[in-house]
Amino acid sequence: MEEPLWVWVITIAVFLTVYIAEFIYAKKHPHVVKFKEASIWVSIYILAAVLFGAGVWIIKGHDSGVEFFAGWITEYSLSIDNLFVFVIILSAFAVPAIYQQEVLQIGIIGALVLRFFFIIIGAAAVNRFSWVFFVFGAFLIYTSYKLASSHGTESDPTQNKVLKIAEKYLPVTSVYHEGSFRVKIDGKKYFTPLFIVMISIFTTDILFALDSIPAIFGLTDDPYIVFTANAFALLGLRQLYFMLDGLLDRLIYLSYGLAIVLGFIGVKLILHAAHENGFENAPDISTPVSLAVILVVMSVTVIASLRQTKLHPELAHRPGEGVSGSAIRDIKRDHPGVE
């Protein structure tokens, strides 16, 4: 069932209202989010997603309901991986804790906008060219291999090529100026390190959008479910960051779990594409089976990670603190005398 335009308008308006309200709150009330506050909001947003999924199940039917939950859990898992990269970025650039929630919320809004555009493009391609599933499937299998071969390590965000160009050609101060992105010093305008951080965040968002959209199209071709699953997966991600502070370091097998999930969905897409393009004997993996595989894999990943780091605490990831080797050190070198 294809949703009428008014359903899309209301849905997008509601999500935008929530996201913008969160950004305004983070901007006007900068503070370090405590565990209790974070856990309450994360619980509210998860409950909202579950209730929405139940509504989809009732209104659109069993298949659509299962597709939403499979898509939401997959995207939520990918969002947590996205969150781990945010941790590294905020740590590498020594972003003061009081400004972190504002940075996170801008990054999350950017991720939602990017995914919305990728969804439009992906839906158009899927509807017009069935062979595009071969491309999506191959890309996910390649992503799965890259995740597994990385052994859970993340690349240095300060070595981002776009970031390096920005550092080279933009005048940037060496300290944070009360959360501002741009300041005037002695009559000359400068960008602050917070602006450089946002460039790193947004380029990361693009990379994760490229992974997440093919993944969810492997579970459903309904653009409305694709969008809402992504929107709910990103909702409350800012609070989740503070709630999981310390726990994220212990998810040492997350990349392996995601590699298995993305590889599985990639194979599912290729089999589906083969079935759609005349290979009638090609098996078609159902969405309920996909949901079961995703739940089992991610549950085992989390349990195994927590158990192993409890037995061997030294295995936990330790995102570097301070700015040693970061872009801010280079900024000080390239702009001597600038605060």
**Assigned token pair, 309:** 């780091």
| Inside any domain, residue 113 | yes
How many Å apart are CA 259 and CA 282, to the nearest integer? 23
pLDDT of residue 98: 77
User: If you average pLDDT over residues 2-20, what whole number do you get?
Assistant: 89
Lowest mean pLDDT, pick from 84-88, 226-230, 233-237, 303-307: 84-88
| Inside any domain, residue 289 | yes
Degrees to nearest 5, angle at CA 294 with 288 and 295: 90
Q: What is the pLDDT of residues 13-69, one digit of tens each?
A: 999 899 888 878 877 777 777 878 888 989 999 999 999 999 999 999 999 999 999
How many Å apart are CA 235 and CA 338, to the nearest integer? 38
How many Å apart are CA 325 and CA 157, to the nearest integer? 11
Listed in sequence order, the residues at least 6 apart from 329 whose beta carbon sits closer than 8 Å to its beta carbon are 323
User: If you average pLDDT over residues 274-291, what whole number do you get?
Assistant: 80
Instruction: Identify the domain containing residue 247 by its residue range.
Output: 5-334
pLDDT band at 328 (very low <50, low <70, confident <90, very high): very low
Q: CA-CA distances (angstroms) from residue 26 to 76, 102, 207? A: 22, 5, 25
CB of 90 within 8 A of CB of 314?
no
| Inside any domain, residue 217 | yes
Q: What is the pLDDT of residues 259-272, one digit of tens each?
A: 899 899 989 888 88
| Inside any domain, residue 233 | yes
Exposed e or buried b per residue across 140-150, where buried means at least 16 C-beta atoms within 10 angstroms of its C-beta: bbebbeebbee
pLDDT of residue 159: 58
Q: What is the pLDDT of residues 119-161, one digit of tens each?
A: 888 877 777 777 788 888 888 898 888 888 875 555 555 555 6
Q: Indicate the number of domains in the chain.
A: 1
Lowest mean pLDDT, pick from 46-50, 53-57, 110-114, 220-224: 110-114
pLDDT of residue 323: 34
pLDDT band at 167 (very low <50, low <70, confident <90, very high): low
Can you give the pTM of this predicted structure?
A: 0.74
Computed over every residue of the chain, the mean pLDDT equals 79
Q: Among 165, 172, 213, which Cα is nearest to 323's?
A: 172
pLDDT band at 299 (very low <50, low <70, confident <90, very high): very high
Residue 256 confidence (pLDDT) above 60? yes
How many Å apart are CA 29 and CA 158, to the nearest integer? 28
Over pLDDT 70: what percentage of the chain? 84
| Inside any domain, residue 339 | no
pLDDT of residue 101: 76
Of residues 167 and 300, more confidently modeled: 300
pLDDT band at 334 (very low <50, low <70, confident <90, very high): very low
**Assigned token pair, 183:** 């300041």
pLDDT band at 245 (very low <50, low <70, confident <90, very high): low
